[in-house]
Amino acid sequence: MIPVIGYDGARVAVLGLGRSGLSAARALRAGGAEPLCWDDREEGRAVAEAEGFAIRDLTRAGAFDDVATLVTSPGIPHLYPKPHPVIAAAMAAGVPVDNDIGLFFRSLATREWERMDTPPRVVAVTGSNGKSTTSALIHHILSESGRTVQLAGNIGRGVLDLEPPDDGGIVVLELSSYQTELARALTPDIAVFTNLTPDHLDRHGGMGGYFAAKRRLFSEGGPDRAVIGVDEVEGRYLASQLGEAPGDDRVIAVSVTRKLPGPGWSVTARKGFLSEWRKGRQVAAIDLRPIAGLPGAHNHQNACAAYAVARALGLPPRGIEAALGSFRGLPHRSQLVAERDGVRFVNDSKATNVDAAAKALSAFGNIRWIAGGLGKDGGLKGLQDQLGSVTKAYLIGHSARDFAVELAGLPVEICEDMRTAVARAAAEAQPGDTVLLAPAAASFDQYPNFEKRGEDFVACVTALDGVEPPA
């Protein structure tokens, strides 16, 4: 645990008692604060009370009269579409609002660091798509190189549940826009921006607010080095804002669409080959095509970003290449689940929006596509260019019929539930086909989260006769 500093003897309100909220309450107590906990759910309050935390109804008048700060969980809106009433009350009372990410950055460095030969460093990864895989890949590369590294944030453990890093230790954080938009301290040593596509727009008041939430990771503390995906205009803008000159190697530009000109530091991947360029010349290259854990251009972008971070931390190209080759991918992200009679079954339940689904569809051929769930604004708009490799779509969930209308001209079958979709796709698949779960929709109509949806897909696949685990 990382005890929270700066609130010794103070009362700190904690709103939301899920993973991050309880973790924050424990870390605040360890640092000498008095947490006052509240959750709209009775069961959340019961869990905190069982751990000995004081429960205070933060919705009552005067609840913030003696409170120094309110710490809120990332899923609770504080601005758009409208503030949660408790957060609105805190702001009206002049009480600062923070989250566990802000507490982490203000509490990580201690006097112990002065006695270390190499102070610990923090790598923080944000973006619309690929941030989980990129974060896990950075962690994997560093682990394989013998570095002491911990992974947390939007993946793995809560940030305050980490152990205080030792001499030379590295912390890798995956940070969502919900986490970066409110944190009062954001000071990573290396910050990564993968890409930007429309998502969570109601929460951020539109695309501009969404980008602004991501941009805070780079503007609030000023990382020593920034790895920026520049295949969208927002990434190019961000790289331009951070660089002082064309050859400023504090910015490492990443692209999977083109070779990047100029004297700067860049990492690109075209036709499956990663290339590192510095001062106008190529210094390293890696063939990514044989790496089973990184299929498709979207994973090649993740590989480029992770490679750039590893190089910024001083790792040699050949060592990074070996680590990339041993990466097996993450569950629910282009995860090869099984094979049967020449048919592959791939779980990409994390493809909860159109852009992520488009990347998954472009990574495979001869696709039997399982899609649907709780559709987002815009439906399947923007997917037309990726449908050429789809043999048939098997549609599930709340938006199945809406998706069927949008996919006019493509063979579709409304299956409603996962078991039916898997059974029908498996029955019709031919050798060389890929049965791909890439929903292009949220999971909340039928599942509590995308992980449970992916686990259901895996269970349905493994229940088929004759399936074999991947080689």
Binding-site residues for ATP sit at 127-133
Long-range contacts formed by 270-275: CB under 8 A, 24+ apart: 272/300, 274/300, 274/303, 274/304, 274/307
Tokens of 40: 């709209």
What is the three-class DSSP state of 190?
A: strand
Amino acid at 274: L
Q: How many CB atoms within 10 Å of residue 330?
A: 16
DSSP class per residue in 105-141: HHHS--GGGGG-SS--EEEEEE-SSSHHHHHHHHHHH
Binding site as annotated, residues: 127-133
The greatest distance separating any two alpha carbons of the chain, rounded to the nearest whole angstrom, comes to 68
Angle between helices 233-242 and 207-219 (to 10 degrees): 30
Distance CA 39, CA 193 (A): 32
Buried b (16+ CB within 10 A) or exposed e, 236-264: eebbeebbeeeeeeebbbbbbeeebeeeb
Is 131 in contact with 174 (CB distance < 8 Å)?
Answer: yes
Q: What are phi and psi of 129, to 5 degrees?
A: -130, 145
From residue 111, alpha-carbon distances to 4, 108, 149 in Å are 14, 10, 20
Rg (CA), the chain: 23
Q: What are phi and psi of 113, to 5 degrees?
A: -65, -25
Distance CA 190, CA 313 (A): 9
